[in-house]
Amino acid sequence: MSFLVETILSGLMAGVMYSLVALGFVLIFKASGIFNFAQGVMCLFAALTFAGIIEKTSLPWPIAFMLTVGVMVAVAWAVERFVLRHLVNQEPIILFMATIGLAYVLEGIGDIVWGSDVKVLDIGLPSGASDFMLDQFNIYIEKLEVFAALIAAVLVGFLAIFFQKTRIGRALRAVADDHQAALSVGISLQTIWVIVWSVAGFVALVAGTLWGTKSGVQFSLSLIALKALPVLILGGFTSIPGAIVGGLIIGVGEKLAEIYVGPMVGGAIENWFAYMLALAFLLVRPQGLFGERIIERV
Amino acid sequence: MLYREAGQFKTTYQADQGIFPIAQDRYVVWAFLAVAFLVVPFFVNDYWTNAVLLPLLIYGMAALGLNILVGYCGQISLGTGGFMAVGAYASYKLMTSFPEMSMIVVVLLSGGMTAAVGVMFGLPSLRIKGFYLAVATLAAQFFLVWLFNKFGWFYNYSATGQISAPERELFGVVLTGASAQTWVKYLFCLTFLTVFALIAKNLVRGRLGRNWMAIRDMDIAAELIGVRPLMTKLSAFAVSSFYIGMAGSLLFTIYLGAVEVGEVFGINVSFLVLFMVIIGGLGSIVGSFMGAAFLVLLPIFLKNFMVDGLGLMPVMAKHVEILLMGLLIIFFLIVEPHGLARLWQIAKEKLRMWPFPY
């Protein structure tokens, strides 16, 4: 029994980590309709920059963190200025391909500036097994994962307040609703895009830091984008709660499948199981769990 | 002056419906084919064939297939690598199980099997649209690669998990395996590509192609005027996967000879082929080849330029190459979102006005 609970708990925690990456996708898709494939590489890039700054300058990590946020804002500005501005009104697939190009660029820059060897990112986040859970319930849980869940909760709360209560948040929602209407009441699309890409960059930095602490900062970090995609379609491209719930479902489903289904078919199914799960969900609800209902008119 | 249809009269409906209505176009195409078939085989060396020509032909075939699905039918697919793997493993199993089978039949049957798999993974497209479908096709990519890695039957339980093409002859000439000569490989791929490019061109001009385009432009409206979405979408998946499967089969049997599925048919290939389609031009047959040529030649050029020209370290050059690839892709998308095919079209239109444009 405790094994099952342990599996489900660790699945939930892993799911939170996926959700963090998926969150960045959702933010950008909501505000600009762009399916930003570069989100995974943005995590890598942010984590690389963060680790690189700490390594090179030996600044205390809060300052390095702020510097990295600055870098991500600069990236957001550059993306808007040099890419998105020129691709307004293009078809979604063109924008999608542009973000793949962007992923290459960020990967290239990250490698050139910081080198491609594995970096250790240690900023004193708690790690190891939680003694409390181990003693009380005989359940093994990583402290880092609990911490990640807390961070995710704080981040989502922060984003919710930001979106619901602030002026910029209202503007963001207006842009998400209708570009032209938003323009006509005087909201600057370009500013909004810079802001939303910056927020996505910040989320990427948080996700990248957590993932980087867990498994080292290296190229494979950019592949977590591929883990986040099923979360995204399961939850719906446009829904922040969807990203969280989707992440939890995928995390638990993946862990359970690995243990109970995996041995039957020879194991190593985690690469595709999430996609199949998401696909099965989509056949019932084509817009994902929390996605906006797709209404089509001729 | 040189290139215009003025004075070219057509007296039959057949002539009127020709693929190239302007005579100059026909001459150029015939001349191009003549050079490709009759001149190039005598002059190519191993380096050129292996580094440039074969990948160009094979990826051209894959891009053509994907263009049918994405460019003509509007269904985004990221499962190309997986489907190419199906083609490769199908030909491996066919070649080892039926040693007598002709290579032409092997490639065609591999395409057919891939088409069947493609239809299966195309079924969700009836309910899922747009990016949801794109991500859903990633399921095919990961599942198929996992499948071929996991089950020994697919690679005949070889110790390395690799598959390698046995030696086969066609018309008395060695075609596959280590001792095959490059001009044979080149001609084999070229013939396949030419025949199937012609078939594709006629498919997209005909009823089926128009149905695809109707679905692409607006599927609900198409359904209302009597285009059956089920048949149309699935046929696009079938035809597209057939081409992609053949490309995978050729890539394995003719070009590489030995394949490790995760490396050769990974997700990067899916993106690469999609890039070829987009940079070449969505919904254009010739664009598929231009895109393939561009993305096959670009890395070679960049690599030679940086390693030999600038003297960068190979590792550094690799990073710079990735960076430049990304920049060039973004640049191209900004400058001409409709791809090289549109540039080609514009050039032709300008040429028709030349030297007296109004």
Distance from CA of B144 to the nearest CA of A (A): 9
B107-142 pLDDT, tens digit each: 899 999 999 999 988 888 888 887 788 888 888 888
Q: Percent of chain B, pLDDT > 70? A: 99
B163-208 pLDDT, tens digit each: 877 777 778 777 777 777 788 888 888 999 999 999 999 999 989 9
Q: d(Cα B140, Cα B240) in Å, to the nearest integer?
A: 15
For residue B158 the two structure tokens come to 């070889």
**If pLDDT is split at 50, 70 and 90, which confidence band does A189 have?**
confident
Residue type at position B301: F
Q: Is residue A43 part of a domain?
A: yes
Q: Is residue A296 part of a domain?
A: no
A282 vs B124: CB contact, 8 Å cut-off? yes
Q: Is residue A291 part of a domain?
A: no
> So what's the pLDDT on residue B110?
92
Residues of A in contact with B224 (CB under 8 A): 298
- Cβ neighbours for B339, distance < 8 A, ≥ 6 positions apart: B278, B279, B280, B281, B282, B284, B287, B290, B291, B332
Q: d(Cα B321, Cα B316) in Å, to the nearest integer?
A: 8
- Cβ neighbours for A4, distance < 8 A, ≥ 6 positions apart: none
For β-strands B169-170 and B173-174, DSSP reports them as: antiparallel
Distance from CA of A135 to the nearest CA of B (A): 39
Q: How many Cβ atoms sit within 10 Å of the Cβ of residue A292?
A: 13
Contact between A208 and A69 (Cβ < 8 Å)? no
A positions 71-130 inside 8 Å of B (CB): 82-83, 86-87, 90-94, 96-98, 100-109, 111-112, 116
A233 vs B132: CB contact, 8 Å cut-off? yes
Q: What is the domain extent for residue A107?
A: 2-284
Q: Is residue A298 part of a domain?
A: no
Q: Which residue, B67, B68, B66, B112, is CA-closest to B90?
A: B112
In this complex, the residue of B70, B128, B220 whose CB is nearest that of residue A296 is B220
For residue A74 the two structure tokens come to 């600069």
Q: Which residue, A286, A293, A35, A92, is CA-closest to B70?
A: A92
Count up the domains in chain A and report the number: 1
- CATH of residue A64's domain is 1.10.3470
Give the distance, in angstroms, between the CA of residue A90 and the centroid of all CA atoms in the same chain: 25
B264-316 pLDDT, tens digit each: 888 888 888 988 888 888 888 888 999 999 888 888 888 787 777 776 677 77
Query: Minimal Cα distance from A88: which residue of B?
Result: B334
Peptide bond into B355 cis (omega under 30): yes
Q: Is residue A293 part of a domain?
A: no
Report how far apart the first and last C-alpha atoms of chain B are (Å, whole number): 14
Domain boundaries, chain B: 48-266
For residue B210 the two structure tokens come to 């128009």
Q: What mean pLDDT is predicted for residues A167-180? A: 82
Residues of B in contact with A230 (CB under 8 A): 135, 138
Q: d(Cα B190, Cα B54) in Å, to the nearest integer?
A: 9
Alpha-carbon radius of gyration of chain B: 21
Query: Minimal Cα distance from B124: which residue of A?
Result: A283
Is residue A118 packed enough to be buried (19+ CB in 10 Å), middle (13-18) or exposed (0-12)?
middle
B34-57 pLDDT, tens digit each: 988 888 888 877 777 788 888 899
Read off the DSSP letter of residue A129: B
Q: Is residue A232 part of a domain?
A: yes
Distance from CA of A213 to the nearest CA of B (A): 24
Q: Does B130 touch chain A (CB under 8 A)?
A: yes
Q: d(Cα A109, Cα B350) in Å, to the nearest integer?
A: 40
What ipTM was predicted for this assembly? Answer: 0.83
- Cβ neighbours for B43, distance < 8 A, ≥ 6 positions apart: none
Residues of A in contact with B276 (CB under 8 A): none
Q: Does A133 touch chain B (CB under 8 A)?
A: no
Residue A78 has pLDDT above 80, yes or no: yes
Q: What mean pLDDT is predicted for residues A179-200? A: 87
Q: Is residue A290 part of a domain?
A: no
Helix (H) or strand (E) holding B75: none
Residues of B in contact with A38 (CB under 8 A): none
**If pLDDT is split at 50, 70 and 90, which confidence band does A266 have?**
low
> So what's the pLDDT on residue B261?
78
